[in-house]
Structure 1
Amino acid sequence: MVLAYAQCMLEAGLNPSEHLYVNCIDIDPIAADMAFIQLSLLGIPAEVITGNALTLKCSRVRYTPVYYINGWEQRRALRQKVDAMKEVMARLVV
């Protein structure tokens, strides 16, 4: 589904490397490895977790190379700060 969505973005003239961030989790290490390889080769920034999505127990977390190249770590940190500021402002207005 992620790859089909990335293809739709390309067809719409958007660059998935710049406008798409993917978070994947799978309990099977081989499936997680395959997802990591495929997303890495296609240039999609992603966090790939080997773990259980129901219990949230994780054994391995990896980020694709494009995640680091395009600065997604900083983007996510900034997004968290903006969301926190919006929450504070919303409480002040009420």
Structure 2
Amino acid sequence: IFGQRPRDGADRPGRKHKYSVDIKTEQNKQFTFDVPSMNPLDAYFQLTKRIAYKTIPGIVSVLVYAGFHTDRKPNSSPLRSFEKDELVFVSLV
């Protein structure tokens, strides 16, 4: 009825744009994830669904950049940032 969806996800509107997300922690560690999504806000919410995000302790900020991490320029500015009081689904441990 619905037809086959391409396996690579290229035709999915929710995965149309490429973003990379940097997570900074209280321990001065940084974690980077590539997240295909609709927009910068959606990129953050897509990341919150991943188990890896939920296991990072002491998150203080999340920065969303255009393009995947390997394509990012060293002096790129984030498209969107989320500070500690704006974060969702963080570990309280």
Same fold (TM over 0.5): no
In our comparison, the structure showing a higher alpha carbon Rg is 1
Larger proportion of helix: 1
Larger proportion of strand: 2
TM-score by length of 1: 0.29
TM-score by length of 2: 0.29
